[in-house]
Structure 1
Amino acid sequence: MRIVVVDDQTLIRKGVISILLLQDKWEVSGEAGTKKEALLLIQNAKPDLAIVNFHLGKDSGLNVISEARQTDSTCKFAILTYSNDPLSFERAKELDIDGYISLNAQPEELVYAIQVIQRGRKYYDPDIIDLLMQTQKKPQVDDHLAEKLTSKEREVLQKLGLGFSNRQISESLFISENTVKKHVSHVLTKLNLGDRTQAALYANQTGLVR
């Protein structure tokens, strides 16, 4: 797997690269310190994964991801951050990022996160998930509401509980992404939930995810 590292702080950038270079199966295809450099690097190196700092000087790593995807890049993206702010995490999730990795993580945690991403799954730092579980208003578990769901909607809800993106749900259930979006909307409406995160919590609390 070809990986590029994007961080405006040289020390962090070099540290991440040194960890990656210890893994024979991964190739570091380049590094960048600004959004402009990052977009050129992604375009030219065509990496499989870009590890991008959430804060990139006066810019945001999320802007790098958003603009890179407009060029039809097939690159996967993982965010590096010190922040455990739920709002920052939600902003990143809206871009369907593949990883959200704490800069406080140990080297082996970084390696594990990349291995998870390489297998086609998403990696979210456990600390941010714990924080979301603590701060997120827990949905009222109501079996009568759950009974309103169709069998396909229950399947979609289960996948949400596993942290699947719309694309992953589409592939696993053999339906289009537009159909997935409609099912998600119906699930939220029928269960009186505000967003996907609440739906995921609901699925876990009701035992739909085992």
Structure 2
Amino acid sequence: MPTLMILDDHPLVRQGIRGIVSTDERMSIVGEASGTQEALAILDRTRPDLVLVDLNLGGVNGLDFIQQAGALEIDCKYLILTSSATTDELRRAQSLGVGGICLKEALPEDLLYAVDVVSRGRKYYDPVFMDDLMDQTPATTEPAFSELTPKELEVLAALARGFSNKDIARTLYITEFTVKKHVSQILSKLGLADRTQAALYAVSRGLVSFELSPV
């Protein structure tokens, strides 16, 4: 059962988040905090699997908390909750390994989905941030995309679905070493920096509907 902590400086917001998350019996909330120092203490004591972090903590950026929390070396994932985020904040969130960003205005089922996805080690970014995230991706020409082999297209489609190397290897009946080679080739051919950019690129190209087939 995944354990969660909530960090938000507004009591009513925390109450609302707690109410939504509590509807999923698979989740267990182990702590709540209104400030970063309190949150760090709870984090160190309870060591949750996932922390829901408000981006704007009354003048303190939630990303600063995530950076400070990294020093505790706790195996924990982070989901940012916000009404807006700048391109610089999105870029910093990615560099800190944040699992996802969800709008505070999201429907309850969207928040539950984001929590589930991130708690399982995959990435979730609200569609409203997709354009800004894609702006960080180097321009890709059609010829570069056409250079991808059928198997590389399958791997790229799997990345868009948030599959790990192990998942891809099992689905395509290839070794994890081969998957790593394919991912490296994909990034090189498309001029992308990492798996996240590759996944965003695949979504923009509609590859989420690409059918995976075994070799």
Task: Calculate the TM-score normalised by the size of structure 1.
Answer: 0.74
Aligned mates of 2:208, 2:20 — CA distance in 1 = 38
* Letter matched to residue 53 of structure 1: D
Unmatched segments (≥5 aa) in structure 2: 170-174, 211-215
On the 8 A contact 2:145/2:189 being kept in 1, the answer is: no
Residue 65 of structure 1 and its aligned partner are, at CA, apart by 1.6
Q: 97-106 or 128-137, which moves further after superposition?
A: 128-137
Aligned mates of 2:138, 2:35 — CA distance in 1 = 37
Change over 3 Å in CA distance of 1:84–1:61 after alignment to 2: closer
On the 8 A contact 1:84/1:131 being kept in 2, the answer is: no
Alignment correspondent of 2:102: 101
TM alignment of 1:48-127, pairs within 5 A = 48-127=49-128
Change over 3 Å in CA distance of 1:64–1:137 after alignment to 2: same
* 1:140 maps to 2:141: yes
On the 8 A contact 1:29/1:47 being kept in 2, the answer is: yes
On the 8 A contact 2:161/2:208 being kept in 1, the answer is: no
Change over 3 Å in CA distance of 1:23–1:192 after alignment to 2: closer
Change over 3 Å in CA distance of 1:197–1:121 after alignment to 2: closer
* 1:4 maps to 2:5: yes
On the 8 A contact 1:98/1:121 being kept in 2, the answer is: yes
Question: Alignment identity in percent?
Answer: 37
Task: Calculate the TM-score normalised by the size of structure 2.
Answer: 0.73
Could you say what secondary structure the match of 2:30 adopts? strand
Could you say what secondary structure the match of 1:142 adopts? helix
Change over 3 Å in CA distance of 1:111–1:45 after alignment to 2: same
Output one character per residue of 1:133-179: Cα deviation in whole Å (capped at 9) or x when no partner.
589675212158736x8x7x777755554456xxx447755769xx9
Aligned mates of 2:182, 2:55 — CA distance in 1 = 31
Q: Calculate the aligned-residue CA RMSD, in Å.
A: 3.5
* Letter matched to residue 19 of structure 2: S
Unmatched segments (≥5 aa) in structure 1: none
Change over 3 Å in CA distance of 1:107–1:135 after alignment to 2: same
Alignment correspondent of 1:191: 190
Output one character per residue of 1:20-45: Cα deviation in whole Å (capped at 9) or x when no partner.
23333322211111111111010001
Alignment correspondent of 1:25: 26
